Amino acid sequence: MTTRLLLYFAHAIDHLALLIFATAVSAIALDFGVARWEDLMPYATGAFVMFGIASLPAGRYGDLWGRRAMMLVFFFGMGASLILVAFTQSPLQIGIALTLMGAFSAIYHPVGIPMLLQGAPKAGAVIGVNGLAGNLGIAVAALLTGLLVKHVGWRAAFIVPGIFSLLLGVYFAMKVPQETASPAKRKNNNPLQLDRATAVRVFAVLTCTTTLGSLIFNFTTNGNGELLRERVTAIASDPATLGLLLAGVYAIASIAQVIVGQLIDRFPLKRIFLPIVAAQVVCFVLAANAHGWLFYLFAIAYMTFVFGAIPFTDAIIARFVDDSMRSRVAGLRLAVSFGISSVAVWILGPFVKASGFTTLLFTMAVIAALTALAVSFLPARDPEPTSTGNPNPVAA
């Protein structure tokens, strides 16, 4: 249970770290002498590019070297790189430091999630709680960053979670037992049997839905702070209040992941996934022309369905991929999907500057519609869940 809790904390730190910059970007721009926050956003692109590309070697080393060892690299690498960001003095320096942080942040999803699933009797429930932890990390990023920016400064918003990550790394090293063998070398008495045509079809759907979903995730989580600042004008001048309201959006929406996780263990994935992404389309369209507290309600609604769609990526891997190669498959799909979707971070500022948030919200509705189309190609029935019995269930 200790290992599982530490992995949940790791997921929270992973998402928290990636969203600090987006929440503090206005303060950072002011400190660096950049006239508009939109002009500073492209400097965060490297972090999200590495979040995708570095997943490939992270997944490979997770399967072949060991997941425990890679998680130690995650904790200490994240801690050191977050603190490094706090000492930067220019847009170029912060861009380089964020890129380094993105490389370490890439480790968690292809390594930490398969590590969680090794000893989990019900994959959906574990994925749901882990998703909740990750999204609460996003909520904490909004709240903690807003408070620290207001009362201490934006640099503290990176230093505090950096120190916390280092401390968790020390505790992880002390409490999590060594693996007897790497996942690729363990004997599996119940390997998953899947024909080649179905495997190719599922991987294609997985890549499409993850790429499109990641575009929406990056657009929303990186843009919601400034979007709230524009649409709910009463909070425009107070970063702490903005952070509190944004944290409220993420905290409420995160509950969807626990509910979806329970449903995943009871029903075929396609039957749940398709209505969730279809609901995103409706919510983005309704939010496009809303203002004030009505927009705030729609923001909660669309983020609920954005977060609600996240567990399906890991559920598809858990349902269709054998444990001995889950980290490598997860790393491959993350490298492709997040490598492509990182363009959302790069173009967010220039896009909003040129076209406005209304156009952005309609664009996300179109992306969600394309996601629904991709989900329709999933098999109607899932294979029998892979047996998770193995001689070294480190997540117990």
In a domain, 125, yes or no: yes
Query: At which residue do the structure tokens 């070398």 appear?
Result: 185
Query: Is residue 10 domain-resident?
Result: yes
Q: Is the pTM of this model over 0.85?
A: no
In sequence order, what DSSP letters do the residues of 64-118 get, joined into one string? HT-HHHHHHHHHHHHHHHHHHHHT--SHHHHHHHHHHHHHHHTTIIIIIHHHHHT
Closest CA to 346 of 137, 124, 46: 46
Residue 389 domain flag: no
Report the pLDDT value the prediction gives residue 38, as an integer from 0 to 100. Answer: 81
Q: Is residue 182 part of a domain?
A: no
- Is residue 266 a part of any domain in this protein? yes
User: Could you tell me if residue 369 is inside a domain?
Assistant: yes
Per-residue pLDDT for the chain (396 aa), expressed as one digit of tens each? 788 899 999 999 998 898 899 888 889 999 999 888 888 888 888 888 898 889 889 988 888 888 899 999 999 999 999 999 999 999 999 999 999 999 999 999 889 988 888 866 677 888 888 888 887 887 787 788 888 988 899 999 999 999 999 999 999 999 998 887 777 676 654 555 556 677 778 888 888 888 888 889 888 888 888 888 888 876 556 777 777 888 888 888 888 888 988 898 888 888 999 999 999 999 999 999 898 889 999 999 999 999 899 888 888 877 777 677 778 877 877 777 777 777 777 788 788 888 888 999 999 999 999 999 999 988 777 665 444 444 343 333
Query: Are the C-beta atoms of residues 158 and 25 closer than 8 Å to each other?
Result: no
- The structural domain count of the chain equals 1
Give the helix, strand, coil percentages of the chain, each rounded to 5.
Answer: 80, 0, 20
The backbone torsions φ and ψ at residue 113, rounded to the nearest 5 degrees and listed phi first, read: -70, -45
- Quote the pLDDT of residue 395: 36
25-63 pLDDT, tens per residue?
889 999 999 888 888 888 888 888 898 889 889 988 888
- CATH code, domain with 23: 1.20.1250.20
> Which range of residues forms the domain containing residue 206?
2-176+195-375
pLDDT at site 236: 53
391 within some domain? no
3-state SS track over 264-317: HCCCCHHHHHHHHHHHHHHHHHHHHCCCHHHHHHHHHHHHHHHHHHCHHHHHHH
380 inside domain: no
Query: Can you tell me the distance from the alpha carbon of 325 to that of 383, in angstroms, rounded to the nearest whole number?
Result: 17
